[in-house]
Amino acid sequence: MDGKGDVADCGATPTMAMIPRENSAEGRRSRRAGAVTIGGVTLALLALLATACSGGGAGAHLTGNGGAATGTQPKITITPGNGTKAADPSAGITVTTTAGTLTNVSVHTSGPAVPGTLSNGGKTWRSQWALEVSQSYTVTATASQSGARPITTTSAFQTLTPGQTFQTQIFEGYNQAYGVGMPILLSFSQPITNKAVVERSLQLTTSTPVVGAWYWDGSQKLAFRPRDYWPSGTTVSFTGHLNGVEGAPGLYGAHTLTQTFTIGPSVIAVGNTGTHRTQIYYDGQLKYDWPISSGKPGDDTPISS
């Protein structure tokens, strides 16, 4: 399901049994007496028997639209509720049904589409990212249960306008090329205390599979480093779904950050303070072998372990 909503129609067309009209003189006389005789049985008697079978026992009954209803009627709950004026955008949207499954959830807004995922056997839907601040949303949800009519519920609400916001910048430039050892560098205008929440809002897509992790340097600097070097030629697309994220109590992101860049050819320098040589490897092949100075006695270049 995407934010625009794909409608799934799960209804059933009711059917009606037709009774042939009796045109005989006997039938006309019976109708005047208040009942139509068919095959020796009056409709009044049939109606009496039908009433007796539709009581509180196991017999089926007819719903208002002519369809059989044997299951529990679903009840849909949408959070934030209808009419909410200052919903917390960081909490997103949750839709649940008490019976059956959700067959459609659509979110309408003037902002970006709102994707979400189903869970709990189709009984729960949650938005994937935080909602935008100062934004209006209308959520429409439909649920179906076997033997019951589908029901639809709508909730229209607004998210809060925060008193404090933070901005985020990315070091990498659009469509620029960077080395295989270059981290993704983010800086925040305000100290971040809800670090895990901010990390969960960051999305990376790479043309070549990459394993890596985010690392904080204090409370305003964040970097992503791949476990190994970036594969040469990789295209990296970054999206920070930070609008509506609560980075610290009462402090919300107010924009979504996007960037795309590439990884250039592999150029790796390996220095050896024992041999006083540095080898330069280009795309995995030794290109240069240069002599180097590694300090003098008493002022040696430190050797990292």
Give the domain CATH number at 256: 2.60.40.3710
Q: Could you say which of 139, 158, 177 is where a domain stops?
A: 158
Question: Domain check: are 178 and 250 in the same one?
Answer: yes
Averaged confidence pLDDT in the chain: 81
Would you tell me how many other CB atoms lie within 10 Å of the CB of residue 57?
7
Question: Domain check: are 259 and 271 in the same one?
Answer: no
User: 56 in a domain, yes or no?
Assistant: no
pLDDT digits (tens, 9 = 90+) for 82-133: 999 999 999 999 999 999 999 999 999 999 999 999 999 999 999 999 999 9
User: How far is the C-alpha of 300 from the C-alpha of 305, rounded, in Å?
Assistant: 15
Report whether pLDDT(9) > 90: no
User: 10 in a domain, yes or no?
Assistant: no
* pLDDT in the model for residue 110: 96
107 neighbors 69 (Cβ within 8 angstroms): no
214 neighbors 240 (Cβ within 8 angstroms): no
Domain with residue 104: its CATH number is 2.60.40.3780
Report whether pLDDT(293) > 70: yes
Question: Domain check: are 275 and 248 in the same one?
Answer: no
Domain that residue 168 falls in: 164-263
**Global pTM exceeds 0.85:** no
Instruction: List b or e across 182-214, with b for residues whose CB sees 16 or more CB atoms inside 10 angstroms.
Output: bbbebebebebeeeeebeebbeeebeeebebeb
Question: How many domains does the chain contain in total?
Answer: 3
E strand or H helix at 152, and its extent?
A: strand 151-158
Question: Domain check: are 180 and 231 in the same one?
Answer: yes
Q: Could you say which of 135, 158, 181 is where a domain stops?
A: 158
* pLDDT in the model for residue 300: 74
Question: Domain check: are 217 and 174 in the same one?
Answer: yes
